[in-house]
Structure 1
Amino acid sequence: MLNLARSAAPIYLAVVATTIGATVDAAVLGHYDTTALARFTAVMAVFIPAVTVVTGAQRGVVPSLAQAVDDPQRLRANLRASMWLALAVGALGAAAVLGTRGVGRLVGAAEEVAQVPVTLLVLLAASVVLTAVQATGSAVAIALDRAGLVFRAGVTATAVGVAGTLLLVPALGLVGTGWAMLASTATYAVLVHATVARSAGLGAAAVRIGRPPVAAIVALARVGIPLAATVLVKFAVLGVVALAVTRQGVDAAAAHTVALSLANLAFAAAVAIGQAVIPRVARAEDRAGRRAPVVDGVKLALVTLVVVGALVAVLHAPIVGVFTSDPAVARAVTNLLPIVAVVVLADAVQAVVGFGLVGLRRASASLLGFAACYGVLAVLAVPVADAGGLEALWIALAVANGLLVVIQSTFFTRLSSNAPPRIIL
């Protein structure tokens, strides 16, 4: 379990660094101009899901890369196929970002908010594509169990992004944020590929993709696309939940946002642990070897979150105070914290087991589980919120995550009995 923690810690710290960078962007724009902040929020509503889907798809290539780490030729071939998949999914994400204005008008956003500068959309679309490229390099680093490379690249990229935001927003406004984000993403992509190429002896293969190996790309997509779809389902349903909360008033909506922010910061630890689990499951040669990393990952996630939960319980007043100064909202968040803890713990367990399924190249099983549990949640969100308010809605989310724990664990127990398939290139 200690080795797993060493692998997961750099991934988590890289996520924290990225979160800090995004917070700085919002803070600087908030002080610069309210309209600019509103437009930034609108474009982030499309950009963040697009990036999440892209990175989700690339997490799905880790098992194939992990199975090829001892064969440089196979590793190069898998990397080339992974890059082509990244570019394909990245292009779709970029197209979604370019359509942000239309999406805004479709959901009824005010015209002043929907009028996001075209230059910004182009810069962010390019960032989505570069994120896909970067995610491939990160996948190789995780497959090689060298997640420290991801951390160093992530911290450097965040520093570039923060410096760019501070320097460019006063001069260029909202478009300056786009240039800063593009510079940060490009830095991340270049650094992670360069360091992975040196450490793995890949040379130019880290960026040279050649002709598209269609069969290999399709094989990788069979894991990556269901994983990306799972992430998309989760984001979409959480969006429905957020809309249901808005029916309860401003205080409830604000309390939900704060509670969700706290939950996401804690849940990121489980995501990091789950990513470290994938290559260990993929390389295991027997049932016990495939199950042990997942069991260790669940234990590590629970220990980590219990420690975090204890800190939040003791320091809840100053922690909640970072997000809101409204006494009514702070009180609502504090009352909600025990339910939030249950939601996060269940979510962490299902996530680690779900990443175990990715290691088995059975991501479609996770998609089925999410479609069932979160599909019901989406249907019931509004009536549950109307009947029981914010707490009832979070209890429903806890139940959905609890059912996912059962479903994911059942799938993993059955599927881990057989060796995961390999891609032979």
Structure 2
Amino acid sequence: MPSPHRTILRAAVPLFGTMSAGIVAQLVGTSLLGHQATAQLAAFTLAGAVLNPVTAAVAGGLRGAAPFVAVHRDRPAEAVGVLKDARWLALGLGAAGAGVMLAVPSIARAGGAPDEAVAELGRLPLLLALHVLLYAAGSGANGVLVALGRSRLVLWSGLAGTGTQVALSLALVPRMGVQGVGVALLGSTAVAVAVSNGVLSRLTGSSPWPGRPRARLIVRMARVGVPMSATLVIKFTVMGGVAYTAARTGVQGAAAHAILIALDGFLGLAAFAAAQAATPEIARAASPRDARRVSGAAVTIAAAGVLVGGLVLLLPGGAVLGAFTPDAAVLGLAGGLVPLLLAFSLVGNCGIVVAYGLVGLRRSTWQLASAGTGYGLLALTMTQATEAGGLAGLWTAMVASAVLIGAMQVAGFVRYSARQSSP
């Protein structure tokens, strides 16, 4: 087997570039809102707390197709056929998710969010519901390109979508506030979906849009994709609850938490790129040793990415945090939690890589059990931790949850990779 580090890096670098551009676009929107009004940043955090589990459920349905696509690297037309069936599953999840997005104001009020933040939501829930439907109908093409060994082509849709989002954010957020962020995200999704599907269609010579569903294959993919969707829903639902718990400390606490979560996305870029690159390689691994070598290489790359990103946060002496908001209270809260952010990001993102390895082994049910245990305990303790230690207590509970989940996922990967054989 070739060097797993080289194999993963070759596929992960274009993905890293694409996701870096996407994170930059998100940070631009967050920064613009933070400088405009703290209440608007808090409102965006509340909507994002619901959007994350919804889009994660759709993404899980699509990513569950990765091991099925991976074995068709030499037969691109069959790989596209798998994507078509996966999109039927994603569309069902997306329709349900769009309904949830429309209920964001009610969810926010029930969660005890500040009235001034809820009042700023406006039409943002509708815009995000449309985004979810479009994402469900058209995403997944980039995953097929990665599985076919053409990850460089992913850059086209990533850069096009990011450019659209940044341009629309700069033009609309100063005038429309949080509504402008919603328009920018919807426009970005439309452009990215159009470009990625166009690239895949030209490469394979066949249309990637859903055709007549093949029930048997959809059920097989659902056995992998639905547990992964459930895992992500649990994760982001609990993390949404964490955001609401942070919001109950006040508008400044909600804004500080939003900044830290945005930075965690930045720190996890290498991990997500390595995880997506490793999944098809693990699915094609011919032996337990090969599967573990690929996973170990991906974990190493993920850890290096978090540590390098951590240096960027620590060295400038607070300059990165200052780019998000001029509010001294928010900066003080966020700055004091950077060490906990780094611990959470290191453990959590390495665990994400192992979790994607379980998907490559078609064992996402273990991933679901790990997430249910770790995030369940976080849900039970987050309120008490916040009451006892404020935001620091909340982030300490998040670190403990990440450690437990990661340990369970490693145990599961070791167990199931022992059964890996040539696909």
Is TM-score (shorter-chain normalized) higher than 0.5?
Answer: yes
Question: Residue 191 of structure 1: which of 192, 195, 198 is its match?
Answer: 195
Sequence identity of aligned pairs in percent? 35
Q: Per-residue deviation at 1:70?
A: 1.9
Q: Distance in 2 between matches of 1:368 and 1:122?
A: 33
2:153 is aligned with 1:153: no
2:241 aligned partner: 240
1:52 aligned partner: 56
Q: Distance in 2 between matches of 1:178 and 1:393?
A: 28
Change (3 A) 1:262 1:162: closer
Q: Distance in 1 between matches of 2:176 and 2:250?
A: 36
Instruction: Determine if contact 1:63/1:358 at 8 Å carries over to the other structure.
Output: yes
Out of 180-189 and 357-366, give the one that drifted further: 180-189
Q: 2:207 corresponds to which letter in structure 1? A: A
Change (3 A) 1:24 1:397: closer
> Any residues of structure 2 matched to 1:129-278 within 5 Å, and which?
129-166=133-170, 178-199=182-203, 201=204, 203-207=205-209, 209-246=210-247, 248=249, 252-278=253-279
Q: Per-residue deviation at 1:248?
A: 4.8
Q: 1:256 corresponds to which letter in structure 2? A: H
Q: Per-residue deviation at 1:347?
A: 0.7
Q: Distance in 2 between matches of 1:337 and 1:356?
A: 29
TM-score, structure 1 normalization: 0.86
Instruction: Determine if contact 1:101/1:115 at 8 Å carries over to the other structure.
Output: no
Q: Per-residue deviation at 1:132?
A: 2.1
Q: Per-residue deviation at 1:265?
A: 1.4
2:313 aligned partner: 312
Give a deviation string over 1:110-137, Cα, whole Å, max 9, x none.
Answer: 499469666x655543321221234211
Q: Per-residue deviation at 1:351?
A: 0.8
Q: Distance in 1 between matches of 2:43 and 2:329?
A: 28
Give a deviation string over 1:73-121, Cα, whole Å, max 9, x none.
Answer: 5324312211212222222222222334543454466499469666x65
Q: Distance in 2 between matches of 1:389 and 1:121?
A: 29
2:107 aligned partner: 103
Out of 26-35 and 355-364, give the one that drifted further: 26-35
1:125 aligned partner: 129
Q: Per-residue deviation at 1:381?
A: 1.3
> Any residues of structure 2 matched to 1:286-297 within 5 Å, and which?
286-297=287-298
Q: Distance in 2 between matches of 1:329 and 1:32?
A: 14
Q: Distance in 1 between matches of 2:271 and 2:366?
A: 19
1:377 aligned partner: 378
Q: 2:136 corresponds to which letter in structure 1? A: A
Give a deviation string over 1:7-54, Cα, whole Å, max 9, x none.
Answer: 222223322322333344456677889998776665444334322321
Instruction: Determine if contact 2:286/2:422 at 8 Å carries over to the other structure.
Output: no
Q: Per-residue deviation at 1:288?
A: 1.2
Instruction: Determine if contact 1:86/1:136 at 8 Å carries over to the other structure.
Output: no
* Structure 2 counterpart SS, 1:316: coil
* Structure 2 counterpart SS, 1:51: helix
Change (3 A) 1:291 1:165: same
Instruction: Determine if contact 2:15/2:154 at 8 Å carries over to the other structure.
Output: yes
Change (3 A) 1:233 1:268: farther
Q: Distance in 2 between matches of 1:232 and 1:107?
A: 17
Give structure 1 stretches of 5+ with no counterpart. Answer: none
Change (3 A) 1:406 1:122: closer
Q: Distance in 1 between matches of 2:242 and 2:121?
A: 26
2:365 aligned partner: 364
Q: Distance in 2 between matches of 1:123 and 1:243?
A: 21
Change (3 A) 1:113 1:65: same
Q: 1:192 corresponds to which letter in structure 2? A: S
Q: Per-residue deviation at 1:274?
A: 0.8
Q: 2:10 corresponds to which letter in structure 1? A: R
Q: 2:420 corresponds to which letter in structure 1? A: A
* Structure 2 counterpart SS, 1:204: coil
Q: Distance in 1 between matches of 2:321 and 2:121?
A: 32
Instruction: Determine if contact 1:105/1:111 at 8 Å carries over to the other structure.
Output: no
* Structure 1 counterpart SS, 2:212: coil
Q: RMSD of the alignment, in Å?
A: 3.1
1:94 aligned partner: 98
Q: Distance in 2 between matches of 1:388 and 1:150?
A: 43
Change (3 A) 1:421 1:272: same
1:412 aligned partner: 413
Give a deviation string over 1:272-315, Cα, whole Å, max 9, x none.
Answer: 21111101001112111111110001111112222222332222
Q: 2:202 corresponds to which letter in structure 1? A: R
Q: 1:321 corresponds to which letter in structure 2? A: G
Q: Per-residue deviation at 1:405?
A: 1.9
Q: Per-residue deviation at 1:395?
A: 2.4
Q: 2:383 corresponds to which letter in structure 1? A: V
Change (3 A) 1:5 1:100: same
- Counting matched residue pairs gives 418
Instruction: Determine if contact 1:65/1:78 at 8 Å carries over to the other structure.
Output: yes
Q: Distance in 1 between matches of 2:289 and 2:86?
A: 29
Q: Per-residue deviation at 1:186?
A: 1.8
Q: Per-residue deviation at 1:177?
A: 5.4
1:4 aligned partner: 8
Out of 221-230 and 366-375, give the one that drifted further: 221-230
TM-score, structure 2 normalization: 0.87
Q: Per-residue deviation at 1:242?
A: 3.2
Q: Distance in 2 between matches of 1:308 and 1:264?
A: 11
Q: Distance in 1 between matches of 2:184 and 2:250?
A: 35
Instruction: Determine if contact 2:270/2:301 at 8 Å carries over to the other structure.
Output: no
Give a deviation string over 1:148-178, Cα, whole Å, max 9, x none.
Answer: 2222211112222333455567888876655
Instruction: Determine if contact 2:8/2:277 at 8 Å carries over to the other structure.
Output: yes
